[in-house]
Amino acid sequence: MTINPYLCDVCGTCVSVCPVDAIVVEENRVVLDNEKCIRCRKCVIVCPVKAISEKN
Amino acid sequence: MSIIKDYYDVIVIGAGPAGSVSARFAAENGASTLLLERDQGPGNPVRCAEGVSHNGIVPFIEIDPKWISTKIEQARLYSPNGDYLDMFQNGTGYVLDRTLFDPALANLACQKGAQLLTKADAIGLIYDNDKISGVKFRYFDKIYDVKCKIVIGADGIESRVGRWAGIDTVLDLKDLDTCVQYTLTGLDISSLRVDFFFGREVAPGGYIWIFPKSKDTANVGIGIAGDLVTDKSPKEYLDEFIEKKFPNASVLRSVCGGVPTAKMLKNPITDNLILVGDAAHQVNPITGGGIVQVMIAGQFAGETAAEAIKANNYSEKFLRKYIKKWNNRLGANQSFMYSVKEKFMRMDNERFNNLVKICSAIPSEKLTLKEFFKTIVKGDPMMILQLAKAFVTSKLK
């Protein structure tokens, strides 16, 4: 999973749906842990600006 | 510079309306209270359409024109075919300026004795013998471990605090609205009216809103239900709407965000910890409005925390008082609104068109949002017709 920093507004919506706690907001950035990620795509779906994609 | 002590009775994480009101009531009732805000200050950035009712906020703060953008007297609901329904709500509403309202609420907490730190980012909980006993946070470039008896997590939809404490805060896609909002200027609108636009092509499972900040400026935003999102992003839906409706507008501000449209968390407490606000899913599931509800919850959280300190009892069992108070005050309303959401937000275009058409027969001064929602929950078109007839007949007499 990759987060496009130009689109991301650091709103935390993705964090609220992640079932495995793989996304955190740190120092005003959203950080996604690809080791923890189970590729459920919920964050991809709910991001208001589609900033998250499955590309690595 | 304020000195950070080693211990406070209560530490509140997040200085939005829920956190600031929690801190205020904890402090007012005698608990030493620390309020932590991650951002540069309360109300920054504002991820909100900023609408509230007069009756909802007066119990918490004296109305100050400084943080009121507009006074609202009317709501207009547009059906997918473009027909609309005017409603005069129960009492006056406001569109706030939360860049000033949130600091005013935080200031009230400080006046009651709470200590506020900004740029203070909670990064974890501290445990003593498996009991939550404090908060670890970064304040500018230093890390602090500060002890407390009770942590109040008011850290919004992300609610890291809830996760740290082992509370399941994960939202189902259907119980989350994904939102984008622009503050637009260069408009020519009524500053007395809020507008809502519905329809599968407009905002699947949600709506577009226009909340005026003045005659020429408004918060124009969209919320789409998480499970009805397509390849088209909420931003794309909103951009299309604005291109048609306000082709000459300029953007003063843009924000994204998520709104929980769920039932309240089953158990927003654990030993030594309370969740409040968006973190506890205390938002009105149909409108997505939360300011007033989370302030009420904040009061209950703050009061309960202070009582726990006095009683020297921080167990989950003791903290249930907070949930009891919430359930007595708003539990039924929250469940009702959730059941409305499940029906209302899933209506097809045709049904919505009909509903608006039928309700148009009701004099608008008698039609409140609550009546409208009740009609939907009953779900039976004949009931709607009867209701409309009843209003018309009463008017003729």
Last residue of a domain, one of B301, B326, B342: B342
Last residue of a domain, one of B201, B236, B260: B260
Q: Give the pLDDT mean for B182-202.
A: 95
DSSP letter string, B138-191:
EETTEEEEEEEEEEEE--TTT-HHHHHTT---PPPGGGEEEEEEEEEES----T
Please state the domain count of chain B. Answer: 3
Q: Give the pLDDT mean for B215-232.
A: 96
Q: Are the CB atoms for B153 and B161 separated by under 8 Å?
A: yes
Provide the pLDDT confidence category of residue B375 given band limits of 50, 70 and 90.
low
The model's pLDDT over B324-350, given as tens digits with 9 standing for 90+, comes to 999 999 998 888 889 888 887 888 888
The answer to whether A32 contacts chain B (CB < 8 Å) is: no
Least confident segment among B45-49, B282-286, B381-385: B381-385
A contacts of B235 (beta carbons < 8 Å): 48-50
**Three-class DSSP category at B263:** coil
A contacts of B160 (beta carbons < 8 Å): 15, 24-25
- Do B133 and B23 fall within a single domain? yes
B177: left (phi over 0), alpha (psi -120 to 50) or beta: beta
| Residue B382: pLDDT over 70 | no
- Do B220 and B198 fall within a single domain? yes
Q: Which chain B residue has its CA at the smallest distance from A27's CA? A: B121
Q: Give the pLDDT mean for B159-171.
A: 95
Domain assignment of residue A35, given as a range: 2-53
B69-B71-B77-B80 Cα dihedral, nearest 10 degrees: -20
DSSP letter string, B269-285:
EETTEEE-GGGGT-S-T
Instruction: Return the pLDDT at B391.
Output: 46
Q: Give the pLDDT mean for B42-59.
A: 93
- Residue of B47, B176, B180 lying closest to A49 (CB–CB): B180
Q: Give the pLDDT mean for A23-41.
A: 93
| Residue B385: pLDDT over 80 | no
Q: Which chain A residue has its CA at the smallest distance from B158's CA? A: A16
Instruction: Return the pLDDT at B379.
Output: 54
Distance from CA of A13 to the nearest CA of B (A): 5
Higher pLDDT, B342 or B227: B227
Which of B158, B222, B231 to mutate to test binding with chain A, by most A CBs within 10 Å of its CB?
B158
Q: Give the pLDDT mean for B365-391.
A: 58
Provide the pLDDT confidence category of residue B373 given band limits of 50, 70 and 90.
low
| Residue B395: pLDDT over 80 | no
Q: Are the CB atoms for B23 and B111 separated by under 8 Å?
A: no
The C-alpha atoms of residue B194 and residue B75 are separated, in whole angstroms, by 5
Provide the pLDDT confidence category of residue B174 given band limits of 50, 70 and 90.
very high
Residue B236: give its domain's CATH number. 3.30.9.10
Instruction: Return the pLDDT at B234.
Output: 96
Quick check: ipTM above 0.85? yes
Alpha helices in chain B (DSSP H): 17-28, 54-57, 98-111, 160-164, 234-245, 291-311, 316-326, 332-344, 349-359, 369-378, 381-396
Alpha-carbon torsion (B14, B17, B18, B19), positive or negative: positive
Q: Which chain A residue has its CA at the smallest distance from B123's CA? A: A26
Residue A48: give its domain's CATH number. 3.30.70.20
Would you state the structure tokens that stand for residue A47, as one six-digit string?
């991001």
Q: What's the longest Cα–Cα distance across chain A?
A: 25
Q: Does residue B60 fall inside a structural domain?
A: no
The model's pLDDT over B21-36, given as tens digits with 9 standing for 90+, comes to 999 999 999 999 999 9
Please state the domain count of chain A. Answer: 1
* Residue the block writes with tokens 């609108």: B189
- Do B248 and B375 fall within a single domain? no
- Do B149 and B270 fall within a single domain? yes
- Do B269 and B285 fall within a single domain? yes
- For chain B, give the percent of residues with pLDDT over 70: 91
**Cis amide leading into B45 (omega within 30):** yes
The C-alpha atoms of residue B383 and residue B392 are separated, in whole angstroms, by 14
- Do B254 and B367 fall within a single domain? no
Last residue of a domain, one of B207, B226, B260: B260
Q: Does residue B223 fall inside a structural domain?
A: yes
- The CA–CA distances, whole Å, from A27 to B39, B120, B184 equal 10, 11, 29
Q: Which chain B residue has its CA at the smallest distance from A15's CA? A: B158
The C-alpha atoms of residue B11 and residue B153 are separated, in whole angstroms, by 9
The model's pLDDT over B89-105, given as tens digits with 9 standing for 90+, comes to 557 899 999 999 999 99
The answer to whether A21 contacts chain B (CB < 8 Å) is: yes
- Do B267 and B240 fall within a single domain? no
Cβ separation of B158 and A25 shorter than 8 Å?
yes
A contacts of B255 (beta carbons < 8 Å): 9, 11
Crossing angle between the packed helical segments B349-359 and B369-378, to the nearest 10 degrees: 130
Q: Does residue B1 fall inside a structural domain?
A: no
Q: Does residue B55 fall inside a structural domain?
A: no
Q: Does residue B56 fall inside a structural domain?
A: no
Q: Give the pLDDT mean for B252-262.
A: 96
| Residue B259: pLDDT over 80 | yes
Provide the pLDDT confidence category of residue B358 given band limits of 50, 70 and 90.
confident
- Do B189 and B283 fall within a single domain? no
Cβ separation of A45 and B156 shorter than 8 Å?
no
- Do B300 and B160 fall within a single domain? yes
Instruction: Return the pLDDT at B376.
Output: 61
- Do B155 and B270 fall within a single domain? yes
Q: Give the pLDDT mean for A7-31.
A: 94
Q: Which chain B residue has its CA at the smallest distance from A9's CA? A: B256
Instruction: Return the pLDDT at B360.
Output: 77
- Do B166 and B176 fall within a single domain? no
Q: Give the pLDDT mean for B247-276.
A: 96
Q: Give the pLDDT mean for B176-186.
A: 97
Rg (CA), chain A: 10
- For chain B, give the percent of residues with pLDDT over 90: 78
Rounded (5°) CA angle A51-A54-A56? 100
- Do B133 and B282 fall within a single domain? yes
Q: Give the pLDDT mean for A26-44.
A: 94
Domain assignment of residue B216, given as a range: 69-95+172-260
* Residue the block writes with tokens 């850290």: B155
Instruction: Return the pLDDT at B168.
Output: 95
